[in-house]
Amino acid sequence: MRMHAHQQFNISAAMTKQWNIKGQPTADQLAEIANLLRAGGVLLLPTDTIYGLHAVVTDERAVSRIAEVKGRDEGKPFVVIAASLEQLEAIGTIFPPHALRALQSLWPAPLTAIVPLRRPIAASRGTSTLAVRVPDLAWLRGLLETIGPLASTSANRSGESPVEVPHQLARDLLERVDGIVDSGPLSREPSTIVDFTGDEPRVIRDGDAFFTQKVWKTLRKTL
């Protein structure tokens, strides 16, 4: 049965929904995914780097469910992915001038930026900073334009390696998510992480070596 954009999911009654998307999802698939997220769902989605668990960034219950699924320490914040820098500003992130110049040049990209936050949100879990990213995956950004920013974390229990294909996720975890988008194997390097909360940016995790070099060059130009 075709799911139209106005139809809603019942999280408590629904079984795990799965979409096999090897390229660009259809409009109906995107509408189904968006509706499930709006209903408070936790979804396993591909990004431009690895698979992750996702929920609407301001939905405290859904974000708490991700933490429960992962066995994550209370208070440890999640990364937030968004369609644009402007979407991130709308949820209260603050981009210092040097961060703004660098990110306008680099995003969308596998680059996670740690920036100050005006006020706590569900995904920040009480912290005054937030790790944010605009992913380099066009259809995912299209979804984010529709649904808004999402809390995002690697698809695994805390302390274990991220999964490269959905079926690698432990069965008990798979049964606790509401939807799975299977785009085939993902084995890319994790994102480069840059901390922009100080007077000067600081690279705290290298991702892809070639891209990280590009990040360094851009940061030097924007200081």
**CATH numbers and ranges of domains, the chain:** 17-222 (3.90.870.10)
Determine the pLDDT at residue 16: 87
Among all chains, which residue has been given the structure tokens 């949100």?
Answer: 121
What CA–CA distance (Å, rounded) separates 201 from 36? 37
The more confident residue out of 221 and 83 is 83
User: For the whole model, what pTM was predicted?
Assistant: 0.91
Query: Which residue is associated with the tokens 């961060």?
Result: 99
pLDDT level of residue 7 (50, 70, 90 thresholds): very low
Using pLDDT thresholds of 50, 70 and 90, give the confidence band for residue 159.
Answer: confident
The band of 14, judged by pLDDT with boundaries at 50, 70 and 90, is low
Residue 13 confidence class, pLDDT cut points 50, 70, 90: very low
| Start-to-end C-alpha separation, the chain | 55
What is the C-alpha separation between 191 and 213, in angstroms, rounded? 13
Distance CA 119, CA 161 (A): 31
Q: b/e for 37-53, b at 16 or more Cβ within 10 A?
A: bebbbbbbbbbbbbbbb
